[in-house]
Structure 1
Amino acid sequence: MVGKSTHAYGQDISQIEALIYRNPHSLLLAVIAAFGVPWAVKNYRKFLALGKSGLTPLGPLGWIVALTLTAFGRETVSTAQYETSGATKERWLETPPERRGARPLTGWHCVPHRQTDRMPSDEMTKRLEAVFEEHVAANPRLVQITLSPHEKTVPGMILHPDVPSPHQDAVQGLREIAHIHPIDHSMHVILSPADSKIVVELGWAERHPLSGRSRFLPLPNSYLLVYAPRDEEELEVVERILVASMGYMAGSRSIA
């Protein structure tokens, strides 16, 4: 009885080997499925955990687009690109102090671009939103609020239609100055090259992984993720960064 079972087991193995030999691609697909599917499920959940973006309503298709774009992303804290001969040296931001502590971590995906730790308190998020709204209300001839042309799911501060785009960054950046991400209260802003260099080097921001990557993507080199403020001191610096972004994008030195 034992011998018969062993013989049957051997026949089964031979049949499997023959099947693999006749269909080698099936083995490859089985291996990919065994290892790839769990990774894909985990990665898709990470994508959803980053909150709403223009890709989120597309579901799995949006995730695939995010994976594709992430393959073209690059590191986010170098500043050499702000020192090119063609970059303006004008500043709108007085040099802030160095930000305390390590930079927040950001998501594996470069779209949406979010921080994933060192989150602000509920009180600080409300304060940041109030600061954002106050500067919009105080500068009605320069800026207005509309749906963010980049995020497509949150309000964005953009140049008023009567204000001409003063430089290529404004054109390439779709005339959007800034927006706040509700899930983490980081902000995307566009600063002058000189100001971008300062805030990245002092730890207040990082470049978007796709910024300046291609002329087909509307993200200039100075498209930055400004980390969410954790206290009053950081809120004051973030507010100054927002005002500097408004000044650069509007070509104005008179931001209220």
Structure 2
Amino acid sequence: MASQLNLSHVYDTFKAHRVATLSALGLAVAIPFARNDYLTYLSYGPGGLPYNVAGWLISTIVLRIISREGLSANIYNDRNLPFADEPGFLPNAFPPRRASARPKLGSHPVPQRQLEQLPNEHIRQLLIERFEALSEQATESGLVEVRQSVLERQHKGIFVSSSRSWHAVAQETRGEISHVHAGLDGSVHVTLSPEDCKKVIAAGWGQRHGLDGVKVLKKLVGFTIPVNYILIYAPRDEAEVEIVITIVKASISFMADSRELLE
């Protein structure tokens, strides 16, 4: 009987203070979640958004709502895409199937980062060195120029040379071709031909950006991200570094509209 009276009292109290009670319960659940989510955002290192609460709120509240899945390659079957009917720039039967399951990525669309299967310091530095060497080679060929990324803002990026004509995809990225996330994870963003995008995704080497092709993004930030914009997972050994560099080479060739690097 006492137990029934106590439960009745609790119920009456809840009815009398329903809003306050639900608000308190909501806060009890939301505050730990928000704290953990914010710490996850910080764990990526600096990216395209402010590296603080403001950046986290933008990515969490605004960009998560409009982001979409990134593993489907069906979008590249649209014959209206620029270069949809043209051959890619990757070698035949390349890349080979990646040796493990895809790494887990952070839940925030920006910055797009992987949370596991990260390279050690030696491999990360080797990737950066090979990326810089390829950038220098392409610069000497007059294909590209190197400057601060306009998409990530924290890293140096490879851009189509201002002396060359820019096709529609290059104009959409403001000329940016590729950049390495040189901080913690060592993943790479590249811009590939539709055919090469399909090959990379099918082989388990990367995935699309969560905001690619989202038209409302232009109203929010003034530009859009093409569906050709792909995250390449970080290499874990020297052989995988060479695979990633070959993909970057194909990205330069596509964006600069030249097969000179492939010869």
Report the TM-score when normalising by structure 1: 0.88
| Pairwise CA distance, 1:232 | 2.1
Report if the CA contact (8 A) 1:165-1:250 is conserved.
yes
SS in 2 for 1:196: helix
| Pairwise CA distance, 1:254 | 0.7
Amino acid at match of 2:258: S
Which residue matches 2:36?
A: 42
Report if the CA contact (8 A) 2:48-2:110 is conserved.
no
Which residue matches 1:125?
A: 124
| Pairwise CA distance, 1:105 | 0.9
| Pairwise CA distance, 1:21 | 5.7
Q: Give % identity.
A: 33
Q: Does the alignment pair 1:65 with 2:58? A: yes
Count of aligned pairs between the two proteins: 242
Which residue matches 2:231?
A: 225
State the distance in 2 between where 1:228 and 1:74 align.
Answer: 22
**Could you list the runs of 5+ residues in structure 2 that have no partner in the other structure?**
1-5
Deviation per residue, 1:195-249 (Å, 9 max, x gap): 0000000011111111112262521111100011111221111111000000001
Report if the CA contact (8 A) 1:174-1:218 is conserved.
no
Q: What root-mean-square deviation, in Å, do the aligned CA atoms of Structure 1 and Structure 2 show?
A: 2.0
Report if the CA contact (8 A) 1:177-1:249 is conserved.
yes
Structure with max Cα Rg: 1
Q: Does the alignment pair 1:255 with 2:261? A: yes
Aligned pairs for 1:71-150 within 5 A: 71-87=65-81, 88=83, 89-94=86-91, 95-140=94-139, 141-150=142-151
State the distance in 1 between where 2:246 and 2:24 align.
Answer: 55
State the distance in 1 between where 2:153 and 2:243 align.
Answer: 27
Which residue matches 2:169?
A: 169
State the distance in 2 between where 1:96 and 1:208 align.
Answer: 19
Q: Does the alignment pair 1:192 with 2:198? A: no
Report the TM-score when normalising by structure 2: 0.86
Which residue matches 1:158?
A: 159
Amino acid at match of 1:253: R
